[in-house]
Amino acid sequence: MNTHRYSRRAFLRGTGVSMALPWLESFNVWGDEPRRDKPASEAPVRLCVTFSGNGFHSKEWWAKGEAKRMELGKVLQPLNEFREKMLFVRGLYHEEARKGNIHSSQTGNMLSGAPIAAGGEIRSGTSFDQVLAQTYGRSTKVPSLVLACEKSNPSVHKNYSMLYSSHISWSSPTTPTPLELYPALAFDRLFKDEASPADKSVLDAVLADAQDLRREISRNDQRKLDEYLDSVRDVEKRIENAGKRGELQGWRPTLDKPNIKRPADGIPQDIGEHMRLMMDLLVLGFQTDTTRITTLKLNNDHSALRFPNLPSVQQAGHGIDYMIHHLLSHSDGEDWLKVNQFFMEQLAYLARKLDSIQEGARTLLDNTMIMHCSSMMAGAKHNNDQLPVIVIGGAGGRIQGGRTLDYTDKPERQMCRLFLSMMDKMGQHPKIFGDAKMMLEEV
C-alpha cells in the first residue's frame, strides 16, 4: 500500500467542492508523510476545537482591553484566569451559513465555510480540523479524535438533515465524521492495541473485497465506497504503525502510556461529568502524543441537553423542567447566562488541566490552540453575521494571548481566514480555504 498515494487521494476528495487550483500549488508542501529524519526539538502544536450550540447570551459575550487589563463579559467570566492566554476575536462569519434555514444549516459548515446541500442530500465541506488530520495528524497513532457529549438527531428539518446540526467535523464533503460519545470507547480509540495479525489479515481481505466491488458499481457508488476503503486503510495503517513510536527523536511526550484507567462503560448521567471526562481523555491523547487534533462537540445546535444540576434563577425551585438548552437560548435571561457560564467553566477546566502539564519551558496549554465557537451569536436571534469565537493557548509561542481582535467593520472577515491562520501555526499553508484566501495577519 502506497501511503503517499493515499494521502493525495484522500486530500483531493477531502477538499471536494471548495477545491480550487491554487490549492494544488501548495499541495507538495503537505501531501507527503511527515518526515521522520528531522528530529523535532520542541513539542508539537496541538489543536482542540470545542463547540457549543445555540450561541450565547445576546449581551454578555464580549471582551475588551489587553493582557491583565482585559475585561470579560459575564459569559466568559469563568475563563478570567486565562485571559492573558486568550485571543478574543469579534466579527468573523461564514457567508454560506447565512443562507438556508436557521439551526440546521448554520452548523454543518462551522469549520469549513462550505455551502450546505438541502433536499435530502448530505454535502458540506471538509472541515479544517480534518484537513489537518489528513496531513499533520498522520504522524500520530490517531490522526484526530472526534468526540461529542450529545447524540445527533436522526431527522430532516426544513429540508436540511439534522446531521448538519450535530456535525462540525467532516472527513470529506459527504462524510460527517462519526462522533464518539462513549468515554470508554474514546479511550479504546486512543490506547487499545489493535496490532493483531489476525485483524490485519481480515482487513486485507475486506479491502480486496471492496476493490473488487468497486469495479462493479456506479461511479457515484464508488465515491461512497471510498469512505470504506479509506477507513480500512486507515485502521490497517494504525496496526502497522503500532509499536513504531519509539523512532521519534528529540522531543518526547511527557507520558508514554495513559495514567488513568479505562473509563466505565456507558455515558455518565451528569453532563458536566461527561464533558470533563471527555476533556480528560483528549488531554491524555495530547499528553501521550497519541493524537494532536481533537474536536469536541459539547452539544448540538438545536440542543436538547438538560441541566438538572443547575438551579434556575428565574424560576426558583423549577430548574429541572425548564433548563433545556435550546429553549433557554430563546429566553436570553439569567438562566441562559448561567448555562453559558457552565459551558465556559468546563472549558476553563480543560484549559487548567492543559496548563498544569509542563512540557519543557512551556505548558501543554502553551503548545495548544483551543478554539471554542458556536454557530450563532445569540440563540435568541439565530444571528450569525458575527460568530462567537475565542482561542486559548499559545500554539507553541506562535499566538500572543491577552488580546481582542475586532474585524466587525473590516471588509474581509471570513471565519475561514482564522482557520488558515491556525493551520499556519501547525505548519500547513494552503493558499485558500473555504471562502478565504488569506490568513488573519493579526493572529
Partner 1 sequence: MKYFNSIRAIASCMVLHGLTFGADDFQTSILPLLKERCNSCHSTEKQKGDLDLERFASVADIKREPMIWEGVLDQLHMGEMPPKKEPQLAPEQKALLTKWVQDRLEEVALASAGDPGPVVLRRLSNMEYTYTLRDLTGVESLDPAKEFPVDGAAGEGFTNAGAALVMSPALLSKYLDAAKDVASHAVLTPQGLSFSSRTSQRDWTDEALAKIRAFYAQFTSSGSGSKVQAQGINLDTGDSGVLPLEQYLAATRDDQLAAKLNSKYLGRLRAALEGKESNVIFDLVRQQWRAEASAAQMTETIAQWQNALWRFSSIGHIGKLNGPKSWQVPVLPLTASELLRVKLPASGVTKLYLTSFAIGKASAIWENARIVKPGQQDRPVSISGEEAVIPADIGKDAEFIITARLHSDSQGAVQVRVLTAKPTGPAALVASKVIINKPGKKGTWSDGEKPLSFDAPILVGDNSDMRKQLTAQIAEFRELFPAALCYTKIVPADEVVTLTLFYREDEQLKRLMLNKNQIAEIDRLWDELRFISEAPLKQIDVFEQLWQFATQDADPKAFEPLREPIYRDAEVFKQQQLAAEPRHVQGAIDFATSAWRRPLSAAEQIELRSLYQKLRKQDLPHAAAVRMLIARVLVAPAFLYRGEKAAPGLKAAPVNDQELATRLSYFLWSSTPDEGLYQIAAAGKLQDPSVLAAQARRMLKDDKIRRLATEFGCQWLHVRDVGTLDEKSERHFPTFISLRGDMQEEVVRFFIDLFQNDRSVLSLLDADHTFVNASLAKHYALDVQGPGWQRFEGIQSKGRGGILGFAATLAKQSGASRTSAILRGTWLSEVILGDKLPIPPKGVPILPEETPANLSERQLIERHSRDENCAGCHRRIDPFGFALESFDAIGRARKADTKTVLPDGTSVDGLNDLRDYLMNKRGDDFLRQFCRKLLGYALGRSVQLSDRPLIDSMVRSDHRIGTLIDLIVRSPQFREVRGKDAVAQH
Near partner 1 in 174-213, by CB under 8 A: 174-182, 185, 189, 194, 197-199, 201-203, 205-206, 208-210, 213
Q: Rounded to whole angstroms, how far apart are CA atoms 40 and 293?
A: 18
Q: How far is the CB of 280 from partner 1 (least distance, A)?
A: 19
* Residue ranges in 81-100 that form contacts with partner 1 under rule CB under 8 A: 99-100
Q: Which is nearer to partner 1, 133 or 275 (CB)?
A: 133
Q: Which is nearer to partner 1, 26 or 331 (CB)?
A: 331
Q: Is beta strand 403-406 parallel, antiparallel or unpaired with respect to 358-359?
A: unpaired
Q: Rounded to whole angstroms, how far apart are CA atoms 140 and 195?
A: 15
Under the phi-then-psi rule, with left for phi > 0, alpha for psi from -120 to 50, and beta for the rest, what region is 227?
Answer: alpha
Q: Please state the length of the chain.
A: 443
> Which of residues 87, 380, 399, 418 is near partner 1 by CB under 8 A?
380
> Which of residues 381, 398, 431, 437 is near partner 1 by CB under 8 A?
381
> Which of residues 37, 216, 409, 441 is near partner 1 by CB under 8 A?
216
Q: How far is the CB of 340 from partner 1 (least distance, A)?
A: 16
Query: Which of 163, 155, 157, 61 is closest to 107 using CA atoms?
Result: 163
* Residue ranges in 336-375 that form contacts with partner 1 under rule CB under 8 A: none
* Residue ranges in 255-314 that form contacts with partner 1 under rule CB under 8 A: 304, 306
* Residue ranges in 3-32 that form contacts with partner 1 under rule CB under 8 A: none
Query: Which of 78, 50, 23 is closest to 420 using CA atoms?
Result: 23
Q: How far is the CB of 141 from partner 1 (least distance, A)?
A: 11
The site string for partner 1 over 395-434 (x = CB under 8 A, - otherwise) reads ----------------------------------------
Q: Which is nearer to partner 1, 221 or 256 (CB)?
A: 221
Under the phi-then-psi rule, with left for phi > 0, alpha for psi from -120 to 50, and beta for the rest, what region is 154?
Answer: beta
Q: How far is the CB of 225 from partner 1 (least distance, A)?
A: 6
Strands (E), 206-324: 293-297
Q: How far is the CB of 385 from partner 1 (least distance, A)?
A: 9
Q: Which is nearer to partner 1, 155 or 259 (CB)?
A: 155
Q: How far is the CB of 103 from partner 1 (least distance, A)?
A: 10
Query: Which of 427, 293, 430, 420 is closest to 368 using CA atoms?
Result: 293
Q: Which is nearer to partner 1, 40 or 213 (CB)?
A: 213
Distances in whole angstroms, Cα of residue 431 to Cα of each of 21, 136, 227, 437, 439: 10, 16, 26, 6, 9
316 makes contact with partner 1 (CB under 8 A): no
Q: Which is nearer to partner 1, 204 or 412 (CB)?
A: 204
227 makes contact with partner 1 (CB under 8 A): yes
Q: Which is nearer to partner 1, 226 or 355 (CB)?
A: 226
Diameter of the chain measured on Cα atoms: 65
Task: Return the amino acid letter for 241.
Answer: N
Q: Which is nearer to partner 1, 77 or 101 (CB)?
A: 101
What are residue 144's DSSP bridge partners? Answer: none
- Contact indicator for 437, 431 with CB cutoff of 8 Å: yes
Q: Which is nearer to partner 1, 75 or 163 (CB)?
A: 163
Distances in whole angstroms, Cα of residue 179 to Cα of each of 151, 173, 185, 386: 8, 16, 11, 27
Binding range to partner 1, per CB under 8 A, among 49-57, 68-76, 221-229, 240-248: 221-229
Q: Which is nearer to partner 1, 180 or 289 (CB)?
A: 180
CA Rg value for the chain? 21
Instruction: Map grid coordinates 488530520 to a residue.
Output: 133
Q: The dihedral of CA 249, 250, 253, 257: what is its sign?
A: positive
Please report which helix (H) or strand (E) contains residue 106, including its range: none
Q: How far is the CB of 371 from partner 1 (least distance, A)?
A: 22
Q: How far is the CB of 429 from partner 1 (least distance, A)?
A: 26
- Contact indicator for 183, 267 with CB cutoff of 8 Å: yes
Instruction: Map grid coordinates 474581509 to a residue.
Output: 412
Binding range to partner 1, per CB under 8 A, among 80-88, 144-152, 280-288, 430-438: 144-152
- Contact indicator for 310, 342 with CB cutoff of 8 Å: yes
* Residue ranges in 154-173 that form contacts with partner 1 under rule CB under 8 A: 154-156, 158, 161-163, 167, 171
> Which of residues 102, 241, 311, 398 is near partner 1 by CB under 8 A?
102
- State residue 10 phi and psi, 5-degree precision: -60, -40
Q: How many residues bind partner 1 (CB under 8 A)?
A: 80
Instruction: Map grid coordinates 488513568 to a residue.
Output: 260
* Residue ranges in 323-342 that form contacts with partner 1 under rule CB under 8 A: 324, 327, 330-332
